[in-house]
Amino acid sequence: MEFTAEQIAGLLQGEVDGNASASVHGLAKIEEGTNGSLSFLSNPKYEEFIYTTGSSICIVNKTFVASKALPETLTLIRVDDAYACFAKLLSIYNNMNRKEPAIEQPSFIHETASIGNDPYIGAFAYIGKNVKLGNNVQIYPNVVLGDNVSIGDNSILFANVSVYADCQLGNNVIIHSGTVIGSDGFGYAPDEHRVYQKIPQIGNVVIEDDVEIGSNCSIDRATMGSTFIRKGVKIDNLCQIAHNVDVDQHTAMAAQVGIAGSAKIGKYVMIGGQTGVAGHLHIADDTKIVAQSGIPSTIKNADTLMGSPAFNHNDFKRSYLGFRKLPFILSKIYEFEKQLKELTKTKNND
């Protein structure tokens, strides 16, 4: 599908600088642009590429001033925020590629399941008893939905996602391939012979609206009650959320984060990759945690944390500088000790 510069400018409320009839049929990074592609420039460090790009159209900020001649074949669309506008176009493009409504065969849909309007259900999907799907839900091939699962409008579950029984997903939820929602929490108790006995996990997982979860994540069901992923949360690939965790609204975490049982994560928290969070603690709203940090205790006030155990990142950096100089400091201490011994020996001889 092709779009002209004039049409794109209309969508973005931008201004065409060049050929309004210039057309594009694909998207590309500015350094990789070819004829017929649309790119954007928002970061000044990439400006050099706009003078050599092969793209037909480039979205730029209204404040952009070329320092040298632009390619003759390049048309600019000037907008208030090039990055945000390009993201908007990506969203439009993505929506255009949504699956057409269909129920592919073979697939299994229990007779008690309730399915809303315009579903896409891929081949080999399994939909259990009393499942409820909202309107425009997309269930890709090999997805498994256990009994009593509910999924809200416009949600997408990509291939090989498994949602265990009784879990609830809201509207506009996106879950990527290989993720498991509602697997048993890690609950065991040793008996009199010190043999671990499984504690039944009878709760569920509740995922609210506008949540996106990456591939190969695991979100455990609660022992009792619910594990909560609140509205607007974004979770990267390969994350582990344990039983009875509560991740509050609009928190984001990067890949390989692990959160232990019953931890409470506040609103607008940002967690870097490979961070580990201990169980039964609370992290204050607006906290930022640098990658590979360890959080062993409650964070009462918003801060930017780093290290394991984590503390204020500026203090950590100063401490790390001291740590790096430790061999030098130790050598100086040994040198001073040697000099002190020699001085003491000389004084004793006197």
Catalytic residue among 25, 176, 193, 243: 243
pTM of the model: 0.84
* Greatest CA separation for the chain: 103
Which two tokens mark 297? 């205790």
- The pLDDT > 70 percentage for the chain reads 100
How do residues 198-239 score in pLDDT, each as one tens digit? 999 999 999 999 999 999 999 999 999 999 999 999 999 999
Mean pLDDT confidence for 121-127: 98
- 274-327: pLDDT as tens digits: 999 999 999 999 999 999 999 999 999 999 999 999 989 888 888 888 888 888
Residue 330 has pLDDT above 90, yes or no: no
Every domain of the chain and the residues it spans: 3-96, 102-314, 315-349
Homologous superfamily of 102-314? Hexapeptide repeat proteins (2.160.10.10)
Name the helix (H) or strand (E) containing 270. strand 270-271
| Residue 282 annotated among the catalytic residues of the structure | no
CATH, domain range 3-96? 3.40.1390.10
CB atoms within 10 A of CB 123: 13
* β-bridge partners, 138: 120, 156
Provide the pLDDT for residue 94. Answer: 80
End-to-end CA, the chain: 98
Two structure tokens written together for 274: 């490979």
Tell me, what amino acid is at 272?
G
Cis omega (within 30 of 0) on the bond before 101?
no
Count of beta carbons in the 10 Å neighbourhood of residue 254: 20
161 contacts 177 by C-beta, under 8 angstroms: yes
Task: Specify the length of the chain in residues.
Answer: 350
